[in-house]
Amino acid sequence: MKIRVLPEHISNKIAAGEVVQRPESVVKELIENSLDAGASSIELIIKKAGKNLIRVVDDGEGMSEEDAVTSTLKHATSKIKSEDDLDSISTLGFRGEALSSIVAVSQFEMKTGTDANDLGTVIRVEDSNTIVREKGPFIKGTDISVKNLFYNIPARRNFLKTDATELKHVTETFVRLALSRSDVSFRLYVDDSLVYNLEKGNLLDRLIGISGDEIINNVIPVNQENQSIKLFGYIGKPVLTKKVKGEQYVFLNNRYVQSKQVNHAVFKAYENVLEKGDYPFFVLFIDIDPRRTDVNIHPSKLEVRFDDEKEIYDFIVLSARKSLSHYDLVPALSFSESSISGTEKLAFNNYPTLEKNDFSDRPSSVVKNGYESYSERPKPKSRYTDDEIEQLFSSLGKNFVRPAEDEDVELPFGGKRPAQQQPAIAQVIPSEPSETDSSAFMVQLHNRYILSQIKSGLMIVDQHVAHERILYEQAKKRIEQNFPTFQPLLFPKEVTTDPGTVALLKEIYDYIQRVGFQVKFTSKNSFLIEAVPEEVRVGEEEKILLEILDEYRMNQEEKHLEAVDNACKSFSCKAAIKSGDRLSDKEMRKLIDDLFATSMPYVCPHGRPVVIKISLNEFDKRFGRT
């Protein structure tokens, strides 16, 4: 007879491999059991990255002697009583596989009690076959020690990674579980050193305990619900983005899960705020009827499925966008003192305290189905009257008179400087007369930046990337609605180039045409430009279209952007006004007005900042007013 039933101790070792893959797996299962037991305090003690010792101590309800022995058996659980319970799982553990799998591959000891006044129980399992029971004066709760993991499976132990790698996985799992329940205190000891001491509190307190005080000013609260879904937590401002994954936490009914669908929904909310390849920080909790989800997919209980994935996806996208829309994602400049030289320098403050609606020119939002939507925010043709613009961008000095170019300038301490020696630092361009006020003006610095007052200080706008943001959203809208706006050329412009460029133009011509270019192909290496978008400057039609194609090709090869996004970004980058272009007051006003009518005025389509600000407090400090 060739086919036989494996002995139980061998089958247990094989089955344990699905549940216990490394020390981190043990940590996850034991802490989840502590949480299910109603613990209000949990300690995790690790030695040699968990290879020598994993100990979890909690003050939960504990177990009787009979339950303690039964809990080490395969498929023993207190959380499932009937088949119907699988449709509404509310506990973290439910399969009854964790303790039996751990016992099969380690030297196991459990101390537990249900009453501080009664004797507790000690269970020891040395070789997965013999269970030793003892009595002892143990307080209410459970204390489990897992020693010499995989001691009886040398091949598995040899395949564990370095201590540093295994400890990293253990720590990540500890952090996830600690985030899932901020109402429970957590402590982590690594080789007798206290690494985390997280007291009970709210979610923000828990984030501070894990990441430090800096996190306060760099997260945005999310709190939204409808009839069937509740979403709450925090998403990070762009300063918290990283080039690697790792700080995206999703909790479904307080269970940490991994969901590509949820992650993609959050990334979608950050669309055009982050560059492709950047990963935002977020800690989000989804509360939903357990009957609408399925977590019983894999023994690790990390995967999840929803009964209506589209509803979940759309709800998360719009909720995250609403939260982003309420905060100004603008880097601030401040003076900081160098610890080395002792001198002060102007530097980015990555942790500014930003007030809601700090920019009084934020666009209004539209509320639909109980929550706000970027995509449905109407874009007005002109958002401000002249009176409102005057109040928003108040004069920097109405009595300032720009000297004529042929006049000498009197210096503040005597003498005169010839006109030709005047440094061209800033241009103060007087506004054109209006019905309300002819004295308002804005400042263009070196033909690159627009300076203007806001209520908290000084706003500085990069004119090129601001125009990029405007053109990007216009192009995207034209492509989506297939409603191009263009201006025909009086004399079509013939362009001769290489066949590859012409082939690329043919490939993406549908998008280019929707943006506003009208092209007629004449040969394999030439074409006629018959019309261009209204934003393209006269005389630069050929140059800009070829630059758009070059940019598209580079984005395609290096950044692997989607075709529509690539076309919009390429157009906006090359058609935007350039750094060094002089703008009239009217042009600056229109630029600012159009910028703050976009869905995300603070970053360009490539993720670069459009606006920075210097607070009034910084000026006060420099002039000794504080």
Q: Which domains does the chain have, with CATH numbers?
A: 8-80+92-201 (3.30.565.10), 205-325 (3.30.230.10), 330-402+425-626 (3.30.1540.20)
CA distance 434 to 451: 21
Nearest to 217 by CA among 116, 74, 350, 351: 351
The mean pLDDT value of the chain amounts to 78
CA distance 76 to 74: 5
What pLDDT sits at residue 10?
Answer: 57
Find all residues with CB under 8 Å of 370, minimum gap 6, and list them: 224, 226
What pLDDT sits at residue 412?
Answer: 41
CA distance 311 to 309: 6
In angstroms, the Cα distances linking 191 to 43, 158, 424 are: 13, 21, 63
- What are the residue ranges in the chain where pLDDT is below 70? 1-19, 74-96, 116, 128-129, 272, 275-276, 295-302, 328-441, 559, 626
- Say which residue the tokens 């045409």 belong to: 513
Enter the tokens of residue 63: 């177990």
Q: Say what angle helices 463-481 and 585-595 make with each other, to 10 degrees.
A: 60
CA trace torsion 417, 421, 426, 429 (10° rounding): 80
CA distance 150 to 378: 61
What pLDDT sits at residue 169?
Answer: 92
What pLDDT sits at residue 521?
Answer: 93
Beta strands in 483-568 (DSSP E): 487-496, 518-523, 526-532
In angstroms, the Cα distances linking 305 to 25, 36, 262 are: 22, 22, 11
Enter the tokens of residue 570: 């390429």
DSSP state of 559: I
CA distance 119 to 225: 47
Contact 278, 315 (CB under 8 A): no
